[in-house]
């Protein structure tokens, strides 16, 4: 579903994982490590209310997960995550992140104050409102610090159109399972099936049905459910 506005124009709303005709960016987050850093774009005055997607313009502030030495009986972890983004004068910026474990328990969930002034909360898709961020002081750097303490380079991260989440988090991580790839569109890439469609088709569950917008905890849990279902179904055929 598309609002039909030009991407990056004021009021343009983006739902993660919906195929558009716009030129795609890097196909995976790991490839970002080889992109040369670019200079920062000039700052925008709030009076201009100009919106662009500045996330791919430079790698300043990106962090990479690293190897960690674990006890022999320890596991680097498997988590599903989902991010919500809002439009600022700089472009799309992170305003909420949720991480769930394999038991569908939320292990991290926070609203995030973007670095730049918000011009559109994108509530229709993000579910984030002005009230949600009113008392939030958590920054992207704070989120990165928490996630890098939770994850290692070997941690398996699950998500839907995960490159969008990693761009929003400014995190480079290559051990991923993307449900948009695991359950491909019949026409192949760059087309992708929506998370809502996958849950309805495979698990007979309706998600993203709230008029107040998406829930990052619901979407993260949905991704974990789909991967667990896929593993069990594949195991049946190998017996």
Percent of the chain whose predicted confidence (pLDDT) is above 70:
74
- Residue 53 — pLDDT band, cuts 50, 70, 90? low
What phi and psi, each to the nearest 5 degrees, are found at residue 34? -100, 0
Tell which residue, 165, 25, 11, has the closest CA to residue 94: 165
Total residue length of the chain: 239
Instruction: Give the H or E element holding residue 171.
Output: strand 171-172
Distance CA 156, CA 227 (A): 12
Instruction: Give residue-wise pLDDT tens across range 153-186.
Output: 999 999 999 999 999 999 999 999 999 999 999 9
Tell which residue, 199, 233, 205, 220, has the closest CA to residue 97: 220
State the chain's mean pLDDT as an integer: 82
- The domains of the chain, with CATH numbers, are 74-237 (3.30.420.10)
């Amino acid at each position: 579903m598309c609002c039909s506005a030009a991407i990056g124009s004021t009021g343009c709303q983006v739902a993660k994982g919906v195929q558009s005709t716009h030129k795609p960016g890097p196909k995976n987050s790991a490839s970002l490590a080889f992109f040369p850093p670019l200079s920062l774009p000039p700052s925008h005055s709030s009076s201009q209310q100009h919106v662009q997607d500045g996330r791919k313009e430079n790698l300043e502030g990106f962090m990479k997960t690293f190897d960690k030495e674990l006890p022999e009986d320890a596991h680097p972890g498997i988590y599903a995550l989902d991010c919500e983004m809002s439009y600022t004068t700089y472009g799309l910026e992170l305003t909420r992140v949720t991480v769930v474990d394999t038991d569908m328990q939320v292990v991290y969930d926070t609203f995030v104050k973007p670095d730049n002034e918000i011009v559109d909360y994108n509530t229709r898709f993000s579910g984030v409102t002005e009230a949600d961020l009113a008392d939030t002081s958590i920054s992207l750097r704070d989120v990165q610090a928490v996630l890098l303490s939770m994850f290692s380079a070997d941690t398996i991260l699950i998500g839907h159109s995960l490159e969008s989440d990693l761009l929003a988090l400014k995190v480079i991580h290559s051990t991923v399972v993307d449900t948009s790839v695991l359950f491909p569109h019949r026409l192949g890439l760059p087309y992708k099936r929506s998370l809502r469609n996958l849950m309805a088709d495979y698990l007979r569950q309706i998600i993203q049905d709230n008029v107040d917008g998406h829930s990052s905890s619901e979407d993260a849990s949905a991704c974990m459910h789909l991967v667990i279902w896929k593993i069990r179904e594949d195991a049946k055929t190998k017996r």
